[in-house]
Chains A and B, each alone.
Chain A
Amino acid sequence: MTYDVIIIGGGPAGLAAAVSARENGAQDILILEREKELGGILNQCIHNGFGLHTFQEELTGPEYAARFIDQVRERNIPYLLSTTVIGLTQSEEGVQVTAVSRENGLMVYSAKAAVLAMGCRERPRGALNIPGTRPAGIFSAGTAQRLVNLEGYLPGREVVILGSGDIGLIMARRMTLEGAKVKCVAEIQPFSGGLKRNIVQCLDDYGIPLKLSHTVVDIRGKERVEGVTIAQVDEHFKPIPGTEEDYACDTLLLSVGLIPENELSREIGVELSPVTNGPKVNESLETNIPGVFACGNVLHVHDLVDYVSEEAAQAGKNAAKYSANAPARGEEIPVETDGAVRYTVPSRICPQRMEEDLVLRFRVGKNMRNAYVCVAVDGKQVLRRKRPVMAPGEMEQVKLKKEDLQGAKSIRVCTEEA
């Protein structure tokens, strides 16, 4: 058989995409999930703060996931667990998905449309080339989170954290609550990459120092971490001699960025953005490969899961429409960026195909106060909005109106400082 929409990944993005695809008319949907449960990374995020935008409630990660899992079950949308997709290619019907599992062996599925919702993985120590020894006791923050929250084991007692991404901040608090001593969080940037609320609730409330413009320059210990050296960095991120400080610790947690997981996207020929490491998509969240859509952290790393769900619902809807009647692709205008805007999703827009309103998401490269977000179409400003605070750790968005883009040749999104 040929599915209408096949969804790779049953985390928050995949679940919302599936529900929305069904709501928009797709009958035969299949979710492929490699874990033994739906919900993705939310299952290990047992802290609360999820869903404020979507449900006006503060849910834990598993509770947030459960809301969507319930919706999938109510609609009888089929899903396969413990199933890993190992191949994604184009075919006559649309796409061909090869997956393996213990129960079903190696299977090949056909679908008219696919939604990429594979999420992301954590950058390892090696990607930063941190010098030193290679003992036990160095964990990415998410791995430590899994060990603590799902396995019930404590990976360390005296902890230094490198990187102030949200998972690192959350784990600073989590390890503290489990009785570990978190000595400090070092961040190479002059600002944190995490949410403001997490800095307050996870570090400040527990008296954990956040050392901005600092990084780990040495790791000691043969079998187990015995200590790390932290130094201040200059504006080129080079350690400043003389600023080294030694910390005795048995554990180093790394929260130094996430990489969207795009092996399958690459295999099918999806064009990736060097900024986000995720697919380049148009207004329908469709990649350069017709019928292949992307959403969630595989597309770009989000700050709040609520936005993942919103974005995924769009992708699911568009995939459903595509599977019913593949629309002709019109001319797409690239979205140019300027100022502190690092990228936009989407990065191309077809004004004929877009809906009345289109949410354009982006991140900025530095902290800004009272700056403006501006959108210009063919050199003419159509939007200028003041933002009291913008930060690299928080996603920004603007709403574009179809009427503003008719006949447009260029779109430019930028920030202007006050």
Chain B
Amino acid sequence: MKQYDMIVVGAGVIGSAAARELSRYQGSLAVLEKNSDVCEGTSKANSAIIHAGFDAEPGTWKAKMNVQGNQMLDQLSEELDIPFRRCGALVVCLNEEDMPKLEELYQRGLKNGVEGLSLLSREEAVKREPNLTDQVCGALLAETSGIVCPFEMTLGLAESAAINGAKFYFETPVTSLEKIEEGWLIHTPKEDFTAKTVVNAAGVHSDELHNMVSEKKLKLAVRKGEYCLLDKAAGSHVRHTVFQLPGKYGKGVLVSPTVHGNLLLGPTAVDLEDRENVQTTAGGLAEVLEKSALGVKNIPTRQVITSFTGLRAHELGDDFVLEEAAEGFFDAAGIESPGLSSAPAIGKYLAEKIAEKLGLEKKTDFNPIRKGTPRLREMSREKRKEMISRNPSYGNIICRCEEISEGEILDAIHGVLGAKTLDGVKRRTRAGMGRCQSGFCSPRVMDLLSKELSLDLREIRKNQKGSEIVLERTRGGEKA
């Protein structure tokens, strides 16, 4: 039995943000995650956008947390050493009849307190974004909209929490909760935990966790969205995130640059029965390509390097559920878009609530700074030379597409919350994210994982248990 003052269930971006904010306070803190790494659910597959905040209904949690979260990102990205760029967004209107809706969106944004909004004529929009289609008749510009790497953001938040004392338990799914005098008794297959307060950041399972403790039942409709990611050669096709104004042609999909220089198209929106069904479909991928072409022309769709499906926990009341659902049990449920953008604000809000409840003081020695693994490819030649002379493994390139060195991979494996799997290395370093999608580097990364973690190659996994890459020795291999 392990005892903590505060336990966060879920190490996605919301759980990690909550953990980081809670780690500012005195008191023991743990994060329980059912998967083997942070950022394995909804947080890993989404549009990677820090929204400006004009979309949500004024007065909702979504509106409030989005605008606040967006404002927090500059400082946060600095402190956590994560890539973030305010590239701006254009919401393009594809049909004259829908133009009043653009004006509506603008007004809604003003009500939500979004700064840097302006309505653009077609000419102004095309001047900013030359690849808009002829169909675009006007646009809403949101200057504060930005792009981020969801993996690095989640990892940064989680590592920052860990640096400040949070203990992470992976492969530790919560099976049930019991109210006890001191707070909550939490059962997992491995061991039991107690906590005075619990944060429910269980993503697409947050209703299940909520329903274990509350009579006021919550029901999420899990939706999936399919995306296509294009090669870096296509990355500069648009400069802003280009949204389509929902209207005559449906909800539309976005076309956006990513912080790493790729081009992202998507998502679709389909309700799901199976909550973890992240498969892509031929129809979904075709829809992404088709719809993205409505707002942006000449997208080089031949340069798709991968496609994926993201999950969204949609709450039927259409808002985030942020409340104390039972004594000491705090929900962060139904966090769908703009969840990534809102995460820092949600984390802060929950932490303040919990600190108040437990009467916790702030630590005097909270360290806001977390360093990511170095990105040699982005360094000047001089700096890179210096780095390699200090640590020669930075000179040994393992992933040729993204030019990731052995040293960067070793840093990721031995990081605060080190990588244990191929996907873990990929998300921390980008090794395997390039145009050959790990064909070249995966055997090499497997060797490094095997050596550094003292595992047999057969134990090296893609991600979860059961995702081992190689199954047995070859006949000749036995002798080797």
Q: How many A-B residue pairs have CB under 8 A?
A: 163
Q: Which of A374-415 contact B (CB under 8 A)?
A: none
Which chain A residues border B229 with CB–CB below 8 Å?
A: 126
CB atoms of A239 and B395 under 8 A apart:
no
Contacts A86-B397, A136-B469; A127 near B304 (Cβ below 8 A): yes
The smallest C-beta distance from A362 to any residue of chain B, in angstroms, reads: 22
Determine the main DSSP class of A at the interface with B.
mixed
The smallest C-beta distance from A251 to any residue of chain B, in angstroms, reads: 9
Which chain B residues border A126 with CB–CB below 8 Å?
A: 229, 304-307, 437
Contacts A121-B439, A134-B278; A100 near B467 (Cβ below 8 A): no
Which chain B residues border A104 with CB–CB below 8 Å?
A: 395
Checking B389, B436, B464 against A105 with a beta-carbon cut-off of 8 angstroms, the contacting residue is B389
Which of B19-27, B91-99, B177-185, B471-479 is the contact stretch? B471-479
Which chain A residues border B307 with CB–CB below 8 Å?
A: 126, 129, 131
CB atoms of A131 and B281 under 8 A apart:
yes
The answer to whether A63 has its CB under 8 Å from any CB of chain B is no
Which chain A residues border B467 with CB–CB below 8 Å?
A: 135-136, 223-224
Q: Which of A130-156 contact B (CB under 8 A)?
A: 131-137, 139-140, 142-143, 146-148, 150-156
CB atoms of B443 and A143 under 8 A apart:
yes
Q: Give 1 or 0 for each of B295-310: 1 = CB within 8 Å of chain A CB.
A: 0000000001111100
CB atoms of A179 and B468 under 8 A apart:
no
Number of interface residues of B (CB under 8 A): 62
The answer to whether B411 has its CB under 8 Å from any CB of chain A is no
Which chain A residues border B403 with CB–CB below 8 Å?
A: 84, 86
CB atoms of A155 and B396 under 8 A apart:
no
CB atoms of B470 and A155 under 8 A apart:
yes
Which of B130-138, B161-169, B215-223, B380-388 is the contact stretch? B380-388
Q: Give 1 or 0 for each of A253-268: 1 = CB within 8 Å of chain B CB.
A: 0000001010000000
Which chain A residues border B468 with CB–CB below 8 Å?
A: 136, 224
The answer to whether B1 has its CB under 8 Å from any CB of chain A is no
Q: Determine the distance from Cα of A132 to Cα of B435 in the docked complex, in whole angstroms.
A: 19
Which chain B residues border A152 with CB–CB below 8 Å?
A: 473-474, 476-478, 480
The answer to whether B285 has its CB under 8 Å from any CB of chain A is yes
Q: Determine the distance from Cα of A124 to Cα of B303 in the docked complex, in whole angstroms.
A: 11
CB atoms of A222 and B276 under 8 A apart:
yes
Contacts A135-B462, A136-B469, A153-B473; A106 near B385 (Cβ below 8 A): yes
Determine the main DSSP class of B at the interface with A.
mixed
Which chain B residues border A147 with CB–CB below 8 Å?
A: 443, 469-470
Q: Determine the distance from Cα of A154 to Cα of B389 in the docked complex, in whole angstroms.
A: 38
Residue of B284, B403, B467, B474 ringed by the most chain A CB atoms within 10 A: B474
The smallest C-beta distance from B480 to any residue of chain A, in angstroms, reads: 5
Q: Determine the distance from Cα of A101 to Cα of B480 in the docked complex, in whole angstroms.
A: 28
Q: Determine the distance from Cα of A259 to Cα of B275 in the docked complex, in whole angstroms.
A: 37
Q: Determine the distance from Cα of A129 to Cα of B308 in the docked complex, in whole angstroms.
A: 9
The smallest C-beta distance from B382 to any residue of chain A, in angstroms, reads: 9
Number of interface residues of A (CB under 8 A): 55
CB atoms of B389 and A124 under 8 A apart:
no
The smallest C-beta distance from B35 to any residue of chain A, in angstroms, reads: 11
Q: Which of A106-131 contact B (CB under 8 A)?
A: 106, 121-122, 124-127, 129, 131
CB atoms of B304 and A34 under 8 A apart:
no
The smallest C-beta distance from B289 to any residue of chain A, in angstroms, reads: 8
The smallest C-beta distance from B166 to any residue of chain A, in angstroms, reads: 28
The smallest C-beta distance from A40 to any residue of chain B, in angstroms, reads: 12
The smallest C-beta distance from B421 to any residue of chain A, in angstroms, reads: 10
Q: Which of B344-399 contact A (CB under 8 A)?
A: 377, 381, 384-385, 388-389, 392-397
The smallest C-beta distance from B219 to any residue of chain A, in angstroms, reads: 24
Which chain B residues border A137 with CB–CB below 8 Å?
A: 469
Q: Determine the distance from Cα of A102 to Cα of B305 in the docked complex, in whole angstroms.
A: 30
Which chain B residues border A121 with CB–CB below 8 Å?
A: 400-401, 435-436, 439-440
Checking A102, A132, A151 against B393 with a beta-carbon cut-off of 8 angstroms, the contacting residue is A102
Contacts A86-B403, A98-B381; A106 near B280 (Cβ below 8 A): no
Q: Determine the distance from Cα of A219 to Cα of B394 in the docked complex, in whole angstroms.
A: 37
Q: Determine the distance from Cα of A136 to Cα of B442 in the docked complex, in whole angstroms.
A: 12
The smallest C-beta distance from A203 to any residue of chain B, in angstroms, reads: 21
Q: Determine the distance from Cα of A105 to Cα of B405 in the docked complex, in whole angstroms.
A: 12
The smallest C-beta distance from A185 to any residue of chain B, in angstroms, reads: 19
The smallest C-beta distance from A130 to any residue of chain B, in angstroms, reads: 8
CB atoms of B397 and A100 under 8 A apart:
yes
Q: Give 1 or 0 for each of A275-308: 1 = CB within 8 Å of chain B CB.
A: 0000000000000000000000000000000000
Q: Determine the distance from Cα of A154 to Cα of B470 in the docked complex, in whole angstroms.
A: 6
Q: Give 1 or 0 for each of A90-104: 1 = CB within 8 Å of chain B CB.
A: 000000001011111
The answer to whether A178 has its CB under 8 Å from any CB of chain B is yes
CB atoms of B439 and A142 under 8 A apart:
yes
Q: Determine the distance from Cα of A101 to Cα of B405 in the docked complex, in whole angstroms.
A: 10
The answer to whether B291 has its CB under 8 Å from any CB of chain A is no
Q: Give 1 or 0 for each of B415-443: 1 = CB within 8 Å of chain A CB.
A: 00000000000000000000111111011
The smallest C-beta distance from B454 to any residue of chain A, in angstroms, reads: 17
Which chain B residues border A101 with CB–CB below 8 Å?
A: 395-396
Q: Determine the distance from Cα of A155 to Cα of B461 in the docked complex, in whole angstroms.
A: 12
Q: Determine the distance from Cα of A326 to Cα of B468 in the docked complex, in whole angstroms.
A: 54
Checking B280, B401, B457 against A151 with a beta-carbon cut-off of 8 angstroms, the contacting residue is B457
The answer to whether B412 has its CB under 8 Å from any CB of chain A is no
CB atoms of B384 and A106 under 8 A apart:
yes
CB atoms of B392 and A103 under 8 A apart:
yes
A-B pairs with lowest CB-CB distance, top 6: A152-B477, A126-B306, A223-B466, A124-B437, A84-B397, A153-B470
8 A-B contact pairs sorted by A residue (CB < 8 Å): A124-B436, A135-B462, A152-B474, A152-B477, A152-B478, A153-B470, A157-B472, A222-B466
